[in-house]
Amino acid sequence: MINLWDIIGSIKINLNIISNNYKNMSKLIITNEKIVIPKGANLNNQIDKEKLKEQFFNQDYENLKLLELIEPINYLQEEVTLLYPGCGIDIFSPLIYLEKLLPNVKKANLIFVDTMSCLGIIKTIIDNVNITFSEEKNKSITFYWNKLLINLKFKESDIHDLIEQLNYDIYFERAFRIMKEQLPNYEHLVYKQLNNYGILISDSGFKSQELKKIKVPQELSAYKEMIIGTKEK
Ligand SMILES: C[S@@+](CC[C@H](N)C(=O)[O-])C[C@H]1O[C@@H](n2cnc3c(N)ncnc32)[C@H](O)[C@@H]1O
């Protein structure tokens, strides 16, 4: 089944336009990239919830409430590394999942990988919701998502060229189903590089990988293939 997300795939330039027909309602998400001056990471930033909602399609935003139905995972490490290939400009989904599912994590090192350069728009988007950040030029940005300290590195690359050089505690994937079909042995490599007791969160695939799965609402995936599981071997 071809999904709306697959079709709109890579429409992501300085002017980012995505149309949405969920529930017969039309919604247009437009983000104009702007230059954002780093003002420093600030634990006291108050996220603008209305602006945050505007970054999601209506149904996707509603569905995030389903995360409340999942029992939080008692993850032993307070600092984690999370890999998100084919991230596009989707900064908020992994942050919301981390916050809801792993409440004892205090610091997350995010590795975002995409063939397109998206960091400029990501900085614009987080600024739009009232989050300030510090920046190590061409390296990473650091900010707080509520109480969670985030360090984000963006790599403009084909994930297939990078995956075997990376190790991570959490693998996050969303709307990447069609793209990964073109990448030989991709899910096996993702699983191999995931640290032991690491967590895999994906809205498609990973049926052949040995994971201790937790029960999750399938509506969290546009493909109804949501999977959250731990690698325990
Ligand atoms: C359908 S979009 C999904 C974006 C994001 N995950 C989301 O949910 O909004 C797929 C993204 O994958 C990126 N992409 C496609 N093939 C890729 C590859 N081999 N390595 C890394 N990124 C890739 C595209 O540039 C695009 O940003």
Q: Do the Cβ atoms of 223 and 180 come closer than 8 Å?
A: no
Q: Which atom of ligand 1 is nearest to the CA of 84?
A: 6
**Other residues' Cβ atoms within 10 Å of the Cβ of residue 186:** 18
How far apart, in whole angstroms, are the C-alpha atoms of residue 140 and residue 127? 15
For ligand 1, atom 27: residue with the closest CA: 88
Q: Is the CB of 84 under 6 A from ligand 1?
A: no
- Number of domains composing the chain: 1
C-alpha 9 to ligand 1 mean position (Å): 7
pLDDT at residue 30 in the model:
82
pLDDT at residue 13 in the model:
38
Q: Is the CB of 125 under 6 A from ligand 1?
A: no
CA angle 147, 148, 150 (to 5 degrees): 140
pLDDT tens for 145-167 read 999 999 999 999 999 999 999 99
| Average pLDDT by stretches of 10, the chain with 233 residues | 46 41 57 93 96 93 96 93 97 98 97 96 97 93 97 97 98 97 96 97 96 96 96 86
Cα dihedral 174, 160, 119, 75, rounded to 10, equals 50
Q: Which atom of ligand 1 is nearest to the CA of 182?
A: 19
SS3 101: helix
- Which of 45, 62, 43 shows the shortest CA–CA distance to 128? 45
Beta strands in the chain (DSSP E): 15-20, 27-32, 79-85, 107-114, 133-136, 140-145, 148-156, 168-173, 194-202, 212-213, 227-230
Testing ligand 1's pocket by substitution, the residue of 55, 91, 179 carrying the most ligand atoms inside 8 A of its CB is 179
For ligand 1, atom 20: residue with the closest CA: 158
- Which of 190, 138, 145 shows the shortest CA–CA distance to 44? 145
pLDDT at residue 3 in the model:
53
Domain that includes residue 123, residue range: 4-230
At 231, list the tokens. Answer: 């690698």
Measured between alpha carbons, how far is residue 220 from residues 9, 187, 210 in Å? 19, 20, 21
pLDDT at residue 193 in the model:
98
Q: Is the CB of 141 under 6 A from ligand 1?
A: no
At 141, list the tokens. Answer: 């940005």
CB-count exposure of residue 67 (10 Å: 0-12, 13-18, 19+): middle
In this structure, the strands spanning 15-20 and 27-32 are: antiparallel
The separation between CA 151 and the C-alpha centre of its own chain, rounded to angstroms, equals 13
Q: What CATH number should be reported for the domain holding residue 174?
A: 3.40.50.150
